[in-house]
Amino acid sequence: MSPQEFADRQRQLADLYAAFNGRDIPALLASMASNVLWPNGWEGGTVRGHDQVRDYWTRQWAQIEPTVVPTGFSAESDDHIAVRVHQVVRDSAGTIVAERAVTHVYRFVDDLVAEMEIRD
């Protein structure tokens, strides 16, 4: 991956996190392949495609308030970017129920997120 491609992907992912924290599902889905494979970090397993991702986030955000802030980016291969994040999860009353650093790894196809993996 060229330095320019890495910079473009880093900006795209920063925008994705801003959209997630802003609960902007249309903006999030616009950056994803139609058959995206996404981890269900809240209930377990994975979801596939825009409809399942939308349903997952809608359920999740009705119960908890996660905020995820990127703290570092690294290229793992030509189509994989790892993002170190600081994650804070609050319950509906605003109490912090979880706070930790994790790594999200994204696979891109044609400038769209095709898959995301969560690594502890």
Q: What is the mean pLDDT of residues 30-52?
A: 95
Domain count, the chain: 1
Q: Which tens digits make up the pLDDT trace of 82-111? A: 999 999 999 989 999 999 999 999 999 988
Three-state DSSP state, 92: coil
Residue 19, domain CATH: 3.10.450.50
**Pairing mode, strands 46-48 and 32-39:** antiparallel
Name the strands in the sheet holding 96-109, side by side, starting at the edge strand that comes first in the sequence.
46-48, 32-39, 112-119, 96-109, 80-91, 64-75
Which range of residues forms the domain containing residue 94?
A: 3-119
Q: What is the mean pLDDT of residues 32-40?
A: 97
Mean pLDDT of the chain: 95
Q: Which of 102, 103, 108 is nearest to 36 (CA)?
A: 108
